[in-house]
Structure 1
Amino acid sequence: MTCLVCGADTVKQQLDVGSHPVASFFLQEPNAVEKLHPIRLGQCGTCAVVQMMQPVPHHALIPPYDWLFAREPEEHLDQTVEDILAYGHINADSIVSGISYKDDTTIDRFRAKGFENGWRLELERDLDVSDPSASIETVQKLISSDRARKVAERHGPADLLIVRHIIEHAENLREFMAGLAALVAPNGLLMLEIPDCAANLCNADYCMVWEEHSLYFTPETFALVPTLGGFETLRLDVHPRPFENSIVLIARKTGAPGDVLPTSAALEQADLLARYAASYPVTKIELRRHLEKYRDVKGRIALFGAGHLAHAFANFIDVADLIDFVADDTPQKQGKFLPGARLPIRPSAALLDDGVTLCLLALSINNEDAVISRNRAFVDSGGTFRSIFRSSPRSIFAYDW
């Protein structure tokens, strides 16, 4: 396979978690027909970037409804804004822009500091996409250099372009970076933010894998990306998070797009995916054995949070048949079924009503305490909450079986 980053034909498949439906395509009935996509990861032998062997095409990721919304971490954004301002490249007359709804809160922070000029790319206005359900999966596909130049001519090139949590979705990273470069003025700044996959790769956490992500970067491999758009890195920061750290990279546009030059730091991670893949069958076997025994002795098991993390756990770890249902209080999800696993989605009150004894948390680690607090009656009745993540202090992988 040709590498999505450096273009070399040296990507070797290491991990195959099977073929699965898109996590956001909730089923209306348990026996509905589903379209499956192969989920396989490889690592490039030239630049060491971990990536999907066959990225799911963007049109197959657009959900059949418009109420899904991803919330990205924001605790570090105030500091990031200060870091950008410290370079002195922009002032109150500068154009501060973004390409998706994920950039709005950062743009708002600049507006609060007097930056009134700017724009945010809109799918219908700027890319002629009228589907209300289309989102970042469509943005990453359509931002070509030609389209981007037209957007820049219409709105004015950005002196600072904010791009949060979309690079990892890119099907064609080289073309996407060229598109971003066309949106930025000469010597303008680019802020990129992505999830850091280093900890999950090292910890063998397979909930990291998501059909919407084509690329799985570490700080060392992400440092290779700016040159694809003709940018020079000014700083790269890693902001700690419980499940996935956030990598923020600030770069300046200095020239024409260039080729990726692998570094010794990136190549030192050449066996990262191989080690991650080697632990996969062992993880599946051991966890399944423990959950089977728990279910036989102590009773029913549920998941909490009907998102892509629960989808990955139930399907990739192959334990769906040991779980009774998924608890989730999102009104639009009620009465539907988790893709692949075909587990019913029920309100959290069902934990108590249906005699569940173990509930596995499949949502942001930051939100675990709040969920437990809202479901205190379940705990008081003898129920136990555990997390599906190895990095959580209440991880099921550290449970005293």
Structure 2
Amino acid sequence: MTRCRLCGSAALASVVDLGATPPCESFLAADQLDQPEPAYPLHLRVCTDCWLAQIPPLITPEETFKEYAYFSSYSTSWVEHARTFVADAVQRVGLGPDAFVVEVASNDGYLLKHVVDRGIRCLGIEPSVNVGAAARDAGVPTLTEFLSPDTGTAVRAEHGPADLVVANNVYAHIPDVVGFTQGLRALVADDGWVSIEVQHLLTLIEENQYDTIYHEHFQYYTVASATRALASGGLTLVDVELLPTHGGSIRLWARPAEVAGEPTQQVADVLAREKAAGLQELSGYTEFSDRVAKVRRDLLKFLIEAAERGETVVGYGAPGKGNTLLNHCGIRPDLLAYTVDRNPYKHGRFTPGTRIPILPPERIAADRPDYVLVLPWNLRAELVEQLSFVHEWGGRLVFPIPELSIVEVKR
């Protein structure tokens, strides 16, 4: 990667190099285990002109998202998060019975089903064929397509302009950030609203959340860099909310530049926090690589010592972020016998690169392991409750991020 994908600058500085890994959602079937498996460099850099953090676009969205393993509805807390967002957005934007809502990267309809339940007209735009089919089966109108300026224009011509366009956890997933933003502008009404949720680079750096760096995530935003990205498509940031999701996210509220007005004080406050953390100069990034290395050393030390004591460690969850962690640490089935996941799509498959079996969640209670390594650490509160049953045999939970934490759970 020689130039910034947002501003075109060649001034790119290294933040952390995680080596080479397979795409994080390329789970393997049993008959693929003896076949070659491609791996791609995973090297985060930051543009010192516009301060957009980014990785090279070595894989295309078409390779990742035409058939996708992630279904949002399998996370109870995420479905509740979506329900709360819809209720709040109805009030904030003033969505009445004649309103129209579009969600980009609408997954299996986890969010728009709440819009459908309110009798509000809506449309999902979801590129994954299998996930979009699940949304339609759930009663959510869904177009199987990637968002581009042409797609946005075509949807607007057929359905009319959207009063609200939602783009949650997708703004990092597209290498053509300018074209995608232009697509959002094409969708939204001239007096409408765009709501975007994306992980906050500030918390990624502060909390060592390096496992959220993977090939699906082409860029990593501060409010400052997101403001510049939105402007590239004719949108202006007017408000921001700080969210706990994914370890720390930002919800960006934007409007067409012509009607946006002045941003709220919250925008100024978050920009000031980012500046104080040094994220608009190289000093804010220089120690991150060392802290990433310590996470790796601590986790490997724990797993090796547990194995030498004859203790069993299994995983919980098979999220994309987990595969960055497993590959960076070089963890194989000798240290992590298997992991489990609530998503049946993943059962009987193996994690990319590390070839760890993925089994149904019931296996934990049957095997009664000494430790359960929780890979979706961002759902800590939800999973501590779900996994409280491991207390019955004295099992404990292990969280690797932001630092190694061993938790005794109680009912």
Would you call these one fold, judging by a TM-score over 0.5?
yes
Whether the aligned pair in 2 keeps the contact of 1:38 and 1:54 (CA below 8 Å) is no
- Aligned counterparts of 1:353 and 1:112: Cα–Cα separation in 2: 39
Q: Can you list the C-alpha shifts for 1:87-145, whole angstroms capped at 9, x where unaligned? A: 66x6543433223325956555556666x44433365xxxxx9x44689xxx9994222
Q: Report what 1:335 is aligned to.
A: 348
Of 144-153 and 102-111, deviating more is 102-111
- Aligned counterparts of 1:347 and 1:103: Cα–Cα separation in 2: 21
Letter in 1 for 2:81: E
- The answer as to 2:380 corresponding to 1:365 is yes
Letter in 1 for 2:404: I
2:168 to 154, 157, 164: 164
Alpha-carbon shift at residue 266 of structure 1 (Å):
5.5
Q: Report what 2:306 is aligned to.
A: 294
Q: Secondary structure at the match of 2:354?
A: coil
Q: Report what 2:102 is aligned to.
A: 97
1:237 to 241, 246, 253: 241
Closer, same or farther in 2 for the Cα pair 1:106/1:334, shift >3 Å? closer
Whether the aligned pair in 1 keeps the contact of 2:318 and 2:351 (CA below 8 Å) is yes
Q: Secondary structure at the match of 1:336?
A: coil
Alignment of 1:165-314 (within 5 A): 165-241=169-245, 243-255=246-258, 268-269=278-279, 270-271=281-282, 272-314=284-326
Alpha-carbon shift at residue 349 of structure 1 (Å):
4.6
Q: Secondary structure at the match of 2:356?
A: coil
Unaligned runs of 5+ in 1: 124-128, 257-262
Closer, same or farther in 2 for the Cα pair 1:63/1:31, shift >3 Å? farther
Unaligned runs of 5+ in 2: 134-142, 260-270
Closer, same or farther in 2 for the Cα pair 1:63/1:366, shift >3 Å? farther
Q: Report what 2:399 is aligned to.
A: 387
- Aligned counterparts of 2:254 and 2:146: Cα–Cα separation in 1: 22
Q: Report what 2:84 is aligned to.
A: 78
Closer, same or farther in 2 for the Cα pair 1:113/1:143, shift >3 Å? closer
Q: Secondary structure at the match of 1:316?
A: helix
- Count the aligned residue pairs: 374
Closer, same or farther in 2 for the Cα pair 1:159/1:351, shift >3 Å? closer
Letter in 1 for 2:303: L
Whether the aligned pair in 2 keeps the contact of 1:11 and 1:43 (CA below 8 Å) is yes
Letter in 1 for 2:13: K
Whether the aligned pair in 1 keeps the contact of 2:148 and 2:180 (CA below 8 Å) is yes
TM-score, structure 2 as length reference = 0.78
- Aligned counterparts of 1:361 and 1:289: Cα–Cα separation in 2: 16
- Aligned counterparts of 1:161 and 1:120: Cα–Cα separation in 2: 10
Alpha-carbon shift at residue 277 of structure 1 (Å):
1.7
- Aligned counterparts of 1:351 and 1:146: Cα–Cα separation in 2: 48
* Sequence identity percentage: 21
Whether the aligned pair in 1 keeps the contact of 2:368 and 2:393 (CA below 8 Å) is no
Alpha-carbon shift at residue 305 of structure 1 (Å):
1.2
Q: Can you list the C-alpha shifts for 1:148-205, whole angstroms capped at 9, x where unaligned? A: 2122111112232222221110111011111111112223221112222322311223
- The answer as to 2:75 corresponding to 1:60 is no
Q: Secondary structure at the match of 2:72?
A: coil
TM-score, structure 1 as length reference = 0.80
- Aligned counterparts of 2:356 and 2:319: Cα–Cα separation in 1: 12
Letter in 2 for 1:333: K
Alpha-carbon shift at residue 310 of structure 1 (Å):
2.6
Coordinate RMSD, CA, aligned: 3.3
Letter in 2 for 1:344: P
Letter in 2 for 1:166: V
Q: Report what 2:14 is aligned to.
A: 13
Q: Can you list the C-alpha shifts for 1:202-250, whole angstroms capped at 9, x where unaligned? A: 1223222222111112334333332122122221111234x52232121
